[in-house]
Homo-oligomer: A and B are copies of this chain.
Amino acid sequence: MFGLMQDWPLTVDRIIDHGATWDGDRPVVARGNDGSVERSDYAAIRSRARRLSAALAGLGIQPGDRVATMAWNNIRHLESWFAIMGMGAVCHTLNPRLFADQLRYIIGHAADRAILVDPCFQNLLADILSGMAWDGIVVVFGNEHEVDRDALPGATSFETLIASAPESDARWGYFDERVACALCYTSGTTGNPKGVLYSHRSTVIHMLMTLQPDVFGMGINDVAMPIVPMYHANAWGMPLSTPAVGCKLVLPGAHLDGASLHELIESEGVTFSAAVPTVWQGLLHHLDMTGGRLTSLRRVIIGGAALPESLIRRLHEHGVEAVQGWGMTETSPIGTHGKLTPAIKELPFEQQLPQRLKQGRPPFGIELKIVDDAGARLPQDGVTPGRLHVRGPTVAAAYLGGADGDILDDEGFFDTGDVATIDVHGYMAIVDRAKDVIKSGGEWISSIEIENIASGYPKIAHCAVIGVPHPRWDERPLLVAELHPGESASDAELLGLLEGRIAKWWMPDAVALVDAMPLGATGKIDKKALRARFATPHIESERILPHGA
């Protein structure tokens, strides 16, 4: 017996329809590539998105076709998202920081029929396309004079395209909610990138899940700024959740340095934001240098990498609550959030820190479990690490084209590739990526836990702990550190940071100082590159014996 409720598919076009109808004049503000600030609103964005949908249809784009974007967080990029998804095509966000060969692979694998590109990425795109056979449509986010036809001879101007199509010709909505709306490739460190194909349904459900007070908790009176790029796990869904609640949206464009972000936060009154830890470290460094303050910002969601204790403390001193989120491209991305439970909330701030440092608890719609290598569930006691598996309506069931084959376990859970613990309060803590965990004498050492301690030291700009081959213990940890310019530190000084704070057999055998930490395509430290660089088992010291031997 079915219910008798209305058939109203959960599709993305309805999100901007809602924002434009009820909060049409709420500002959407973006920093342009030249540093100036552009202004629009949800009504104008919807209208232009609808015109763009008509124009794309006129160029032959059909529902289901993949249309790529390569752009910063800005207004035209947002308009493109709604145009592409609203017409039933698939918005494929390209990460411009990937290597050219990876991008060629991705564009080919996705069979992109068009690429919409920021003017600043025209040369990059020209370089990519010159190395492959591709005859799709190129649209440049700008006016005619911004199109670089030397680099991209056949390119069309975005504004010319929009001007060419009346809104009455819009292709808009009215399809099955299971239809694909977006495509994002994971920047795997091994093998080819794999495509996660989101549906309208999963995207709208994700939006609703994240709006809960304990997750993003945005309301109409917030001013929200997604710093995390729209090409990185959908900017954690914020470009969609903001029109859904009708709050002011601020987009930082290409200018992610501390000074630019601080200026935008203060001038636009940003109350809520989301970014990876390194962005906040850059902002705090700027505040330290200038004596600047944060007068409007109240809450930030931090994800993409573990949140160092020092960052929580320093944001707290600025009156900003730092809440950790965890997720991945395959989880849309929100998987857990670090909201404090009543039992933790009533503790003093210092005693809350161990929980705040964990990656948090799942919202309704996310099921988590930790399992051993055979798939058996492990105890949620806060100490037993296991492979983290996840299930829900916003979690991938397969990769595009069947890459990696069947990626779900017998219960339909996706294996995240993370190793984690879950404690009695329900807080999940990532111990390590399964591939980054250091296997020493048959036991696991968490690189992340050691990094979290070391990264709080003022002299250290970035640090990483990796496993290096060892003849007796298989692997032993190496602390790799990049100091702030002008600083110096001895091995003993740096290892001393860890004394008494980790098990003795976890103590790195040595320290390696580097001038510049290698960063991967999403701004994270590239441990694969570090492992390659330090692969030679040149550390023979055995001053620390595993297992307290």
Annotate A61-90 by CB proximity to B: 1 below 8 A, 0 otherwise.
Answer: 001100000000000000000000000001
Taking A3-B198, A180-B1, A197-B3 as contacts, is the C-beta distance between A391 and B214 under 8 angstroms? no
Partner of A212, one of B198, B245, B395: B245
In the complex, the chain B residue whose C-beta lies closest to that of A182 is: B3
Q: Which of A64, A198, A208 has the most CB of B within 10 A?
A: A208
In A203-240, the 8 Å CB interface with B consists of 205, 207-209, 211-214, 217-221
Are A220 and B209 in touch, CB under 8 angstroms? no
Contacts of A245 in B (CB 8 A): 212-214, 364
Are A5 and B219 in touch, CB under 8 angstroms? no
* Bound Cα distance from A98 to B367, whole angstroms: 41
Q: How far is the CB of A193 from chain B (nearest CB, A)?
A: 15
Q: Which of A6, A179, A217, A341 has the most CB of B within 10 A?
A: A6
Contacts of A248 in B (CB 8 A): 342
A293 within 8 A of B: no
* Bound Cα distance from A10 to B26, whole angstroms: 32
Q: How far is the CB of A116 from chain B (nearest CB, A)?
A: 19
Partner of A426, one of B23, B218, B332: B23
Contacts of A217 in B (CB 8 A): 213, 217, 219
Are A3 and B213 in touch, CB under 8 angstroms? no
In A308-355, the 8 Å CB interface with B consists of 332, 339-342, 345
Partner of A202, one of B5, B205, B246, B408: B5
Are B362 and A22 in touch, CB under 8 angstroms? yes
Q: How many chain A residues touch the partner (CB < 8 A)?
A: 73
A357 within 8 A of B: no
A399 within 8 A of B: yes
A400 within 8 A of B: yes
* Bound Cα distance from A6 to B331, whole angstroms: 10
Taking A212-B212, A213-B219 as contacts, is the C-beta distance between A5 and B342 under 8 angstroms? no
**Which residues from chain A sit less than 8 Å from chain B, CB to CB?**
1-8, 10, 14-15, 18, 21-23, 26, 63-64, 90, 176, 178-181, 196-202, 205, 207-209, 211-214, 217-221, 244-246, 248, 332, 339-342, 345, 361-362, 364-365, 367, 391-400, 408, 412, 414, 426
